[in-house]
Amino acid sequence: MKITTAMHGGNYNELAKQHGLTKEMILDFSANINPLGVPASLKQTITANLDKLVEYPEPDYLALRARIASFHQLDLANVIPGNGATELIFGIAKVTKAQKVLLLAPTFAEYERAFFDAEIIYAELTKETHFAAAETVLEMIKRETDLEAVCLCNPNNPTGQLISQQEMIQIAELCEERNIYLIIDEAFMDFLEGNETISMINYLGSFPHLAIIRAFTKFFAIPGLRLGYLLTKNDLLAEALLQMREPWSINTFADMAGQVLLDDTDYITQTYNWISAERDFLYQELSKFSELTVYRPSVNYIFFHLETPLDLRKELLLKGIFIRSCANYRGLTENYYRVAVKARCDNTKLIRALEVIFSGN
């Protein structure tokens, strides 16, 4: 059965109400947002430009596209901005009109919803291979005839596993040989310091069927603003995406955010310092529990399997902590969970709560 409704992390308000809790009483580990919060540079920019609300946004977003292009050393024509990465996923599905699409399972649900009219083929990932994707994807592309698009999340959500650049080049070469669109969602790639050795952005010129999606949402903690962008050197694809966009889909403050945040080197450095310490801390602490099988993380969330019969999300919610159940991901069961990496004090609260739960108290 295809996924037709959106279900994501961060939707904890309703569940909290069911247990007599308010949103403010919940420590949310379900949404993978940078705990440093909205950068001060953006707050200052918005505050100084509140009067801009009486003006329509710039329709072609030329300054925004030029800043993103400069950051990635691309041309303005290679950048298509969007109202978050999700708008671009749905947009490229409409433009390519792909009728047979390869997706990972498990992975982010919006790809399946975007390609709803297509025949979906799944590269099923397993715990036996630690949810590694590259080998399975290559086998599926070789085996399945008439594939028109391959859509991959790298790092994958919710497993956090990476397809290396070398492996992705092999996938891209095979897709190019067969005229298959390769769409790579790199929404979490910014959390990897030195990610140019993993990202495929520097290979856009080598693969005309390649499109890469990035987002400001997670790294810069602005899910409420909705800003993402797609990169491609396929002129026909880029032009089609620009032509089909609804006017003013990006609001004025999101437009400003994209121009300001890429220059906020202090915030970027602070983020790398935070994640390098806290990701390792939380992974090591979670791995100490015999009740959990924890998969080594690559970015700002950790995926694990509960080895004992227990509704862990419910037990933690009773202690004021909300985590992401992965039961609604294709190929996963109710014993799989994902937690965001947060600040040390919050991560410690999660560990202490798990100690109490697993001790039976």
Look at residue 12 in the predicted model and tell me its pLDDT. 58
Mean pLDDT confidence for 143-164: 97
Which value, in Å, is the radius of gyration of the alpha carbons in the chain?
20
Confidence band, pLDDT 50/70/90 cuts, at residue 13: low
Q: Is it the case that residue 9 has pLDDT exceeding 80?
A: no
Look at residue 16 in the predicted model and tell me its pLDDT. 65
Q: Is it the case that residue 1 has pLDDT exceeding 70?
A: no
Look at residue 15 in the predicted model and tell me its pLDDT. 62
106 token code pair: 């498990």
Look at residue 2 in the predicted model and tell me its pLDDT. 52
Average model confidence (pLDDT) across the chain: 94
Asked if 13-38+265-359 and 42-263 have one fold, the answer is no
- 144 versus 3: which is more confidently predicted? 144
Look at residue 25 in the predicted model and tell me its pLDDT. 77
Backbone angles phi, psi at 172, to 5 degrees: -65, -40
CATH class held by domain 13-38+265-359: alpha beta
Look at residue 259 in the predicted model and tell me its pLDDT. 96
Architecture of domain 42-263: 3-Layer(aba) Sandwich (3.40)
Whole-angstrom distance, CA of residue 272 vs CA of residue 276: 6
Look at residue 24 in the predicted model and tell me its pLDDT. 72
Q: Which residue has the tokens 């947009």?
A: 91
Mean pLDDT confidence for 274-294: 97
> Residue ranges per domain, the chain?
13-38+265-359, 42-263
Task: State what percent of residues in the chain have pLDDT above 90.
Answer: 91
The answer for residues whose C-beta is within 8 angstroms of residue 211's C-beta and 6 or more apart is 92, 181, 182, 183, 184, 230, 231, 232, 234, 237
Look at residue 360 in the predicted model and tell me its pLDDT. 80
Q: How many helices (H) and strands (E) does the chain have?
A: 12, 13
Tens-digit pLDDT profile for residues 87-127: 999 999 999 999 999 999 999 999 999 999 999 999 999 99
75 token code pair: 């041309």
285 token code pair: 């602490």
Look at residue 3 in the predicted model and tell me its pLDDT. 52
Q: Is it the case that residue 199 has pLDDT exceeding 80?
A: yes
Q: Tell me the residue ranges of DSSP E strands in the chain.
A: 27-28, 79-82, 100-105, 119-124, 149-153, 181-185, 210-215, 228-231, 292-295, 301-306, 321-322, 324-325, 336-340
158-171: buried (b, 16+ CB within 10 Å) or exposed (e) per residue?
bbbbbbebebbebb
Whole-angstrom distance, CA of residue 81 vs CA of residue 64: 8
